[in-house]
Amino acid sequence: MIPALLLALALIMPLAAEAQQGGRAYRLGVLLQTVPDPSNPRSPLGLLITALRELGYVEGQNLGVEYRYADDKVERLPALARELVQLKLDAIVPVGPHAIRAARDATTTIPIVMLGGADPIAAGLVTSLARPGGNITGVLIAPGLSLVGKKLELLREVVPRAARIGFLSPDSSGAQGQAAAALKAAASLNVKLIIAPVQAGNYDRAFETMVAERPSAVYVANSPVFMQDRKRIIEAVAKLRLPAIYEWLEQVQDGGLMSYGSSLTWVSQRVAAYIALVFKGTNPGDLPIEQPSRFDLVINLKTAKALGLTIPPSLLLRADQVIE
């Protein structure tokens, strides 16, 4: 990993210097299923724009960004992707699996640098992570579905007697891989998994579905949409007084009990680095799709106290960060 990182830095640093010195302006398209909070710099989009700025690509100066949001209506994404294609952009960044597929279906020529997605090979987006080919590359949030079982195990350590666990899914079709992996892992733990899909942004209905089965804990699936809506989800879980596990540090900083996953900041920085390479002419199909190699366990003791939970000392010792 270290030689690869040094090589990437060697490639990116001169690009950043050139961008800062001026030259041509670049046009980037961003496609999202949900509408981001423009005041939140820790959203996936906010982190990406910050990372691009650090590389010398400043919106409104040498970078123009065209945003298209589907307002949580998945069916709108294909038309929005086609709109972006008509603008003759230098690259498109789709966030999340539905947006990635819509962008891929809309163009075979404009470079696509995807942010997120669980298994692009299984989804039929690429044939290889090492050499994706075509016009698509990007950075995954997690390596396939390997973290699903681990997160259920961590949740069971906090609630050893949990016989039912709710699984908040971003979409009944877009998260089939995660849901299937979670069902398999739950069966091995002798746990009933309650799948509660959030369709068209209807969190109330999803939690009603979950609560009807009386879960002892909640697993919040990995999704950029759930990262965007994290405060709403955390508040809903808090009202139910249930322990929950999330994907990212930011979700625990904002009141979630614990998270186990990659750094969204790292993912955004790597996507920005790939965009910089594509701007300078690198063929996206020659850039390997990256996967995180480090995963952090973060625990919020303040939230645990509010729930009346005692976190096992063995779990606290393994935590990478404890928020008090």
Least confident of 86-90, 103-107, 224-228: 224-228
In 10 A of CB 86, how many CB atoms?
Answer: 9
Asked whether this chain's domains 2-141+263-286 and 147-261+295-323 adopt the same fold, the reply is: yes
Please report, for the chain, the start and end positions of each structural domain, with discontinuous segments joined by +. 2-141+263-286, 147-261+295-323
By DSSP bridging, strand 321-323 and strand 192-197 are unpaired
Asked whether residue 66 carries a pLDDT value surpassing 60, the answer given is yes
Task: Using pLDDT thresholds of 50, 70 and 90, give the confidence band for residue 23.
Answer: confident
Higher pLDDT pick, 73 / 18: 73
Q: State mean pLDDT over 2-18.
A: 48
Question: What CA–CA distance (Å, rounded) separates 158 from 258?
Answer: 10
In 3D, which of 274, 316, 248 has the Cα closest to residue 92? 274
What fold is seen in the domain 2-141+263-286?
Answer: Rossmann fold (3.40.50)
Mean pLDDT estimate for the chain: 88
pLDDT for res 39: 59
Query: Cβ distance 243 to 292 under 8 Å?
Result: no
Backbone conformation region of residue 322, classed left if phi is above 0, alpha if psi is from -120 to 50, else beta:
beta
Q: State mean pLDDT over 59-85.
A: 94
In 3D, which of 168, 150, 170 has the Cα closest to residue 95? 170
Query: Cβ distance 150 to 144 under 8 Å?
Result: no
Query: Cβ distance 98 to 122 under 8 Å?
Result: no
Q: State mean pLDDT over 223-242.
A: 91
Give the CATH superfamily of 147-261+295-323: Response regulator (3.40.50.2300)
pLDDT for res 127: 86
Asked whether residue 15 carries a pLDDT value surpassing 80, the answer given is no
pTM of the shown model:
0.78
Asked whether residue 273 carries a pLDDT value surpassing 90, the answer given is yes
